[in-house]
Chains A and B, each alone.
Chain A
């Protein structure tokens, strides 16, 4: 075990609009293995929150159990965090979100945490369209229990144990699409340039935003024959397009060759600019997105980037029609009917 700080260090003078330096978004020292993909994802989360000028204490970080689920300790030290139980991050996040709709809910999970023990909760938090960011740090194995294959390990993929995985893998992006997620993306911990704008987009998205981040486990699943290893992923990534995140009202200085880019506008007015890579499909069509994942898979490649975006659905609070005030801020006076209603109520029961 080595104690490594995420490897970006900005000078103190670099402050965002809140006057915070990037340090204000960091957390405790990581205790993950040196080179673990998860640390790079933490770094991208830190960068995204800094760039978006988010107040750290208005973020709630919630995770399950696993190396991946430990990471919330390593970013956003000023935010409350909750390392819950294995596979149950979605329900804890759901409850937290019901209590206070005004925080940003950043859910972090692993492929074991999500695709096996937590599959049920993963599915249901999506169907309810909970307003949250759900990041899976996907290494195709159970890092914390020493490298057993997970349900996202591709059939034939070989981990350090040397035995090819026997079973078909679960594609979490396809599941998320099928279950109705409004934003679905896949990225790679080794591609910060792609990952950071995706995290920003997910944060700005209203409703359920899912990012499956392939994040190699250097200790147990980084062999040349592992489809979740650095080497394989670098060679087989097929991006839907390069991405730039343009916050609301910022001056757009990017210049794209005509016809090669497209814009995705998020509900707060911020925009994602996509530089298309050859293939083109309608990002707001679930069917097209599903098709694209399959097409790329047939070519033995991994589709990354923004895969699907559609922000038209109500989130959970919208569906169940809760008041604007966060429920945890309602006072006793607003909640308790008081003795006056009881004479009528008791009378009805006689």
Chain B
């Protein structure tokens, strides 16, 4: 028994973390989503992280929900409340709960005597007993047990119950039979908690109006939707976590928006390929033939696609690739996040190659950058890779609504149509740099009976696409590709810079943005700091400027080898010592706490070194 009076309970409104510990495949996901969605609908900013195993059933999963009315959406680390629904991990979940936190468990069975912390609050609800009393179907028992704990949370966290009722009503609008039993389950939990744990919990979620018109979406769903809006018609893909849901979303939205009303026929072709080589091969074939095509994969797939990416780079064929990064190397931790494919994507394939990368930070950007990516790929006739990650792709994130500007016309790039070919007075050359921007004109098979046919090849070619082993001609082509690379710097999204003349600059990209912004807010209370969020590779001039304008630079990455730093040093010829890397590689989304500690420690070090230096200099003088 807890000696409640002695516990220094955590007390917070709209600012805490709750962790759900479940068994994989037990149907807990929908209950947990119901909960986090309710927080969102109460107008309170929320972020959730699914921490799941590479396994279909039976292994532990966690669902971590951060409720934060200041709007910080990064992972916080630590948890104040745990719903311990998994016997396997219960001891660990119990031990790791923060002091003063709340341990919610199924009290149908008594807790083992080893569960003897005196600094936490135990909240027992006999979930199994309740569900067995009220439901007979074993499947219902499994499902509603989860709903019952959500109901109990509604009471314990003082949430407006009507939000749940509304959610259930909309969720089951098409299956009204399910509404009543769900509401009943919620009430069972609510009532039990109200009667047995009256006013025990000091964590509250109270209604606010902070979410405006924001939405909750997974990055992968947004990328798939983006591909629909961008006019992609061909997708070749091979299943791999965490990218699979991109193509699933593409298919879902295609079925909604791309089926011919009259014939029922599809204005899209999605083929599950035999492997990633075939997936990218299909994309290249389709793009070569004038369709917008894409594939989505993760690190292992990028490795397999490398040869083809080199072909697309050298033969100058548009490719849109989405890399939803996970923890490498090799199979690594397939269900954990990382930003560790930067180098393999940027320089994919043998020989001198460089690919355009885009770094989205939230689902809306997954959508926008997918659209931008298709335009860039066709404008530049080269691979463009959307560098998302598992955290962004597979977790639901709160972000601004998806928008589409109807005046936006797809940029199909330099493609000669039949008339243009007919009108050509000079000899056309597939790889001729007519406009001095490094981008030649291409033609699509079947366009013109007499003009514009050429042979696409990955072997060295001259300006007219003829095979050549003349080193000078080859070199000229390779140099021209660098001219194109320079052009791409003017077309990719620029880095987002917030600069007020501080000596210290913090650089981050992708999903590190959430926690970086939070960390910056804390760090800036004692130290002025500028910030830059990189959105693309190659780097525009603003990136070099930012680096040159700051004495001390921190670069936040979620990989071991400071891959973005390598790109910066390599491409911008900057002094590597100027950049201090702050690296997280545990496969979990980076936290603000980690960043603040790391950066603060470095600053303290620098400060003390600085003093030593001053002293020694002083001594000499």
Residues of A within 8 A of B (CB): 28, 55-58, 60, 62, 72-73, 77-85, 88, 90-100, 102-103, 120-121, 123-124, 128, 316-317, 320-324, 327-328, 330, 332, 334-339, 341-342, 345-346, 349-350
* 28 A-B interface contacts by CB (under 8 A): A56-B449, A58-B446, A72-B455, A77-B453, A80-B443, A80-B445, A80-B454, A83-B455, A85-B311, A94-B278, A94-B282, A95-B283, A95-B285, A98-B282, A100-B290, A100-B291, A100-B445, A121-B281, A128-B271, A317-B269, A320-B271, A323-B260, A323-B267, A324-B263, A328-B233, A332-B410, A342-B402, A346-B402
Q: What is the size category of the interface that chain B forms with chain A?
A: 35 or more
- The 4 A-B pairs at the shortest CB distance, nearest first, are namely A95-B285, A91-B281, A99-B291, A95-B282
Report Cα–Cα, A83/B264, bound state, in Å.
36
- Does any Cβ of A come within 8 Å of B161's Cβ? no
Q: Which residues on the A side are within 8 Å of B352 (C-beta)? A: none
Report Cα–Cα, A321/B267, bound state, in Å.
9
Q: Which residues on the B side are within 8 Å of A349 (C-beta)? A: 215-217, 401
Fill in one digit per residue for B394-407: 1 if any A CB lies within 8 Å of its CB, else 0. Answer: 00000001111110
Q: Which residues on the A side are within 8 Å of B264 (C-beta)? A: 321
Report Cα–Cα, A345/B229, bound state, in Å.
13
With beta carbons under 8 angstroms apart, the residue of B260, B274, B447, B457 that contacts A123 is B274
Report Cα–Cα, A323/B230, bound state, in Å.
19
Closest to B216 in A: A349
Instruction: Given A96-B445, A323-B260, decide whether A91 and B236 contact each other with a Cβ distance below 8 A.
Output: yes
On whether the beta carbons of B284 and A92 are closer than 8 Å, the reply is yes
On whether the beta carbons of B281 and A94 are closer than 8 Å, the reply is yes
On whether the beta carbons of B266 and A323 are closer than 8 Å, the reply is yes
Q: Which residues on the B side are within 8 Å of A330 (C-beta)? A: 231, 233, 267
On whether the beta carbons of A57 and B403 are closer than 8 Å, the reply is no
With beta carbons under 8 angstroms apart, the residue of B257, B270, B458 that contacts A83 is B458
How far, in Å, is A147 (CB) from chain B's closest CB?
21
| CB-contacts of B443-483 with A (<8 A) | 443-450, 453-459, 466-467
Fill in one digit per residue for B69-85: 1 if any A CB lies within 8 Å of its CB, else 0. Answer: 00000000000000000
Instruction: Given A81-B455, A84-B311, decide whether A346 and B213 contact each other with a Cβ distance below 8 A.
Output: yes
Fill in one digit per residue for B307-326: 1 if any A CB lies within 8 Å of its CB, else 0. Answer: 11001000000000000000
Closest to B307 in A: A85
How far, in Å, is A41 (CB) from chain B's closest CB?
18
Report Cα–Cα, A19/B89, bound state, in Å.
79
- Does any Cβ of A come within 8 Å of B63's Cβ? no
- Does any Cβ of A come within 8 Å of B40's Cβ? yes
With beta carbons under 8 angstroms apart, the residue of A82, A91, A320, A338 that contacts B266 is A320
| CB-contacts of B271-300 with A (<8 A) | 271, 273-275, 277-291, 293
Closest to B270 in A: A320
Residues of B within 8 A of A (CB): 40-41, 213-217, 225, 228-231, 233-234, 236, 253, 256-258, 260, 263-271, 273-275, 277-291, 293, 307-308, 311, 401-406, 409-410, 443-450, 453-459, 466-467
Given A58-B446, A84-B311, A98-B293, 14 more A-B residue pairs with CB atoms under 8 Å apart are A78-B449, A79-B445, A85-B311, A90-B278, A94-B236, A95-B284, A100-B445, A121-B281, A322-B265, A323-B265, A327-B291, A332-B409, A346-B402, A349-B217
Closest to A320 in B: B269
How far, in Å, is B98 (CB) from chain A's closest CB?
31
On whether the beta carbons of A334 and B267 are closer than 8 Å, the reply is yes
Report Cα–Cα, A97/B281, bound state, in Å.
12
On whether the beta carbons of A120 and B263 are closer than 8 Å, the reply is no
How far, in Å, is A321 (CB) from chain B's closest CB?
5
Q: Which residues on the A side are within 8 Å of B228 (C-beta)? A: 335-337
With beta carbons under 8 angstroms apart, the residue of A94, A124, A323, A328 that contacts B291 is A328
Report Cα–Cα, A48/B403, bound state, in Å.
53
How far, in Å, is A50 (CB) from chain B's closest CB?
15
Q: Which residues on the B side are within 8 Å of A316 (C-beta)? A: 271
Report Cα–Cα, A223/B208, bound state, in Å.
86
Q: Which residues on the A side are within 8 Å of B283 (C-beta)? A: 95
On whether the beta carbons of A96 and B453 are closer than 8 Å, the reply is no
Q: Which residues on the B side are within 8 Å of A120 (C-beta)? A: 274-275, 277-278
Report Cα–Cα, A341/B289, bound state, in Å.
30
Report Cα–Cα, A323/B283, bound state, in Å.
19
On whether the beta carbons of B265 and A321 are closer than 8 Å, the reply is yes
On whether the beta carbons of B277 and A327 are closer than 8 Å, the reply is no
Instruction: Given A88-B277, A350-B41, decide whether A93 and B285 contact each other with a Cβ distance below 8 A.
Output: yes
On whether the beta carbons of A80 and B456 are closer than 8 Å, the reply is yes
How far, in Å, is A66 (CB) from chain B's closest CB?
12
On whether the beta carbons of B459 and A339 are closer than 8 Å, the reply is no
On whether the beta carbons of A335 and B453 are closer than 8 Å, the reply is no
Report Cα–Cα, A120/B274, bound state, in Å.
7
With beta carbons under 8 angstroms apart, the residue of B41, B286, B406, B447 that contacts A96 is B286
On whether the beta carbons of A98 and B278 are closer than 8 Å, the reply is no
On whether the beta carbons of A338 and B404 are closer than 8 Å, the reply is yes
Report Cα–Cα, A245/B1, bound state, in Å.
92
Closest to B454 in A: A80
Report Cα–Cα, A305/B266, bound state, in Å.
38
Instruction: Given A91-B273, A94-B285, A95-B289, decide whether A323 and B263 contact each other with a Cβ distance below 8 A.
Output: yes
Closest to B41 in A: A350
Q: Which residues on the A side are within 8 Å of B447 (C-beta)? A: 57
With beta carbons under 8 angstroms apart, the residue of B405, B453, B456 that contacts A78 is B453
Q: Which residues on the A side are within 8 Å of B311 (C-beta)? A: 84-85
On whether the beta carbons of A335 and B267 are closer than 8 Å, the reply is yes
How far, in Å, is A63 (CB) from chain B's closest CB?
10
On whether the beta carbons of A60 and B289 are closer than 8 Å, the reply is yes
Closest to A27 in B: B455
Q: Which residues on the A side are within 8 Å of B40 (C-beta)? A: 350
How far, in Å, is A330 (CB) from chain B's closest CB?
6
Q: Which residues on the B side are within 8 Å of A336 (C-beta)? A: 228-231, 404, 410
Q: Which residues on the A side are within 8 Å of B216 (C-beta)? A: 349-350
How far, in Å, is A139 (CB) from chain B's closest CB?
21
Closest to B444 in A: A328
Report Cα–Cα, A124/B448, bound state, in Å.
32
Report Cα–Cα, A214/B217, bound state, in Å.
56
Closest to A91 in B: B281
Q: Which residues on the A side are within 8 Å of B402 (C-beta)? A: 342, 345-346
How far, in Å, is B371 (CB) from chain A's closest CB?
10
With beta carbons under 8 angstroms apart, the residue of B213, B229, B293 that contacts A99 is B293
How far, in Å, is A189 (CB) from chain B's closest CB?
22
How far, in Å, is A106 (CB) from chain B's closest CB?
11
Report Cα–Cα, A121/B230, bound state, in Å.
29
On whether the beta carbons of B229 and A337 are closer than 8 Å, the reply is yes
Report Cα–Cα, A82/B443, bound state, in Å.
13
Report Cα–Cα, A282/B410, bound state, in Å.
53
How far, in Å, is B480 (CB) from chain A's closest CB?
20
Q: Which residues on the A side are within 8 Å of B458 (C-beta)? A: 83-85
How far, in Å, is B226 (CB) from chain A's closest CB?
11
Report Cα–Cα, A124/B238, bound state, in Å.
13
Q: Which residues on the A side are within 8 Å of B401 (C-beta)? A: 342, 346, 349
Q: Which of B40, B445, B448, B466 has the most CB of A within 10 A?
A: B445
Closest to B448 in A: A57
On whether the beta carbons of B271 and A327 are closer than 8 Å, the reply is no
Closest to A60 in B: B445
Report Cα–Cα, A349/B258, bound state, in Å.
20
How far, in Å, is A144 (CB) from chain B's closest CB?
11
How far, in Å, is B222 (CB) from chain A's closest CB?
10
Q: Which residues on the B side are within 8 Å of A103 (C-beta)? A: 289, 445-446
Report Cα–Cα, A48/B270, bound state, in Å.
33
Closest to A325 in B: B267
How far, in Å, is A30 (CB) from chain B's closest CB?
12
How far, in Å, is A11 (CB) from chain B's closest CB?
22
Q: Which of B256, B283, B449, B455 has the most CB of A within 10 A?
A: B455
On whether the beta carbons of B286 and A98 are closer than 8 Å, the reply is yes
Closest to B275 in A: A120
On whether the beta carbons of A350 and B215 are closer than 8 Å, the reply is yes
On whether the beta carbons of A91 and B409 are closer than 8 Å, the reply is no
Q: Which residues on the B side are within 8 Å of A338 (C-beta)? A: 404, 406
On whether the beta carbons of B281 and A88 are closer than 8 Å, the reply is yes
